Amino acid sequence: MMQVIPIPAFTDNYIWLISNEERKHAAIVDPGDALPVIAELQRRDMQPIAILITHHHRDHVGGIGQLLQTWPGLPVYGPAHEAIQHMTQPLSEGQQVNLEPLGLSFTVMETSGHTAGHIVYYGEGSLFCGDTLFANGCGRVFDGTLHDLYHSLQRIAALPAETLVYCTHEYTVDNIGFAKWVEPDNPALDARLEECWELLDSGRPTVPFELGREFDTNPFLRTHIPEVIARAEEIAGRETHTPEDVFAVLRIWKDTEYD
């Protein structure tokens, strides 16, 4: 059975350790900083077996070099369409990552949008999605496109509702704030916010989260809902014609007015 350990980094990042019940080995997901990873592995007496990267941003790759100095020869998996220093295993859509010492396997999905070559890892009932989907939100577009990000989110939304989503930032409370701009009368948002504060006040992260819960609270996955459409049209000052159009209005609004 898979075990996942969160390692807080910087101000709001999570680096994930993927292990199993024996907890002797671990794969490292998106190590933007090496020092907390090294400390956690040594504290737990765990041996790293691989590094998994979702995209090229510094807060996801910045620790790779120091980790390789500490454990030379670790394979570094990452997106084939992005230039990432130290990457040894470039990955494209549909390829498998087999972590044999853990008895675990993941399928690669290409989810461009946040960045042009962003990938995610899906398997074991879980999704390690970098900065594509957040709890109650989604990533900002950098060198990808709004069109690509919308369709990437739709692909993720088609996964089983019980999928546990491991994103890499603690943005949930802030994202609920924006979601309430979009749907101020959505009672599911108030319930989700209360739950999040209970988790944070007890020192626990708000992630992972079940994918199916997003359909009640995440405006970027609710672009077909009449209330969300109406709000987008109010903001845009025009009619919207497709859910993708609604998505673009909301994402641009969040970028320019909320963030």
Q: What is the pLDDT of residues 139-149, one digit of tens each?
A: 999 999 999 99
Contact between 95 and 102 under an 8 Å Cβ cutoff? The reply is: no
Inform me whether the pLDDT recorded for 211 exceeds 80. Answer: yes
Q: Which two structure tokens, joined as six digits, stand for 88?
A: 């040894």
Q: Has 224 been labeled as part of a binding site?
A: no
Within a 10 A sphere around the Cβ of 259, how many other Cβ atoms?
A: 9
pLDDT value at position 259? 61
User: What distance in Å separates the CA atoms of residue 103 and residue 15, rounded to the nearest whole number?
Assistant: 21
Q: Which residues are catalytic?
A: 55, 57, 59-60, 114, 131, 169
Whole-prediction pTM: 0.97
CATH superfamily of 2-258: Ribonuclease Z/Hydroxyacylglutathione hydrolase-like (3.60.15.10)
Could you tell me the residue ranges of all domains in the chain? 2-258
Q: Has 57 been labeled as part of a binding site?
A: yes
Give SS3 for 21.
coil
pLDDT value at position 138? 98
Q: Has 60 been labeled as part of a binding site?
A: yes
Contact between 159 and 127 under an 8 Å Cβ cutoff? The reply is: yes
Closest by Cα among 127, 120, 112, 57 to 81 = 112
Phi and psi dihedrals of 213, rounded to 5? -70, -25
Q: Has 114 been labeled as part of a binding site?
A: yes
pLDDT value at position 160? 98
- Residue 124's pLDDT band (cuts 50, 70, 90): very high
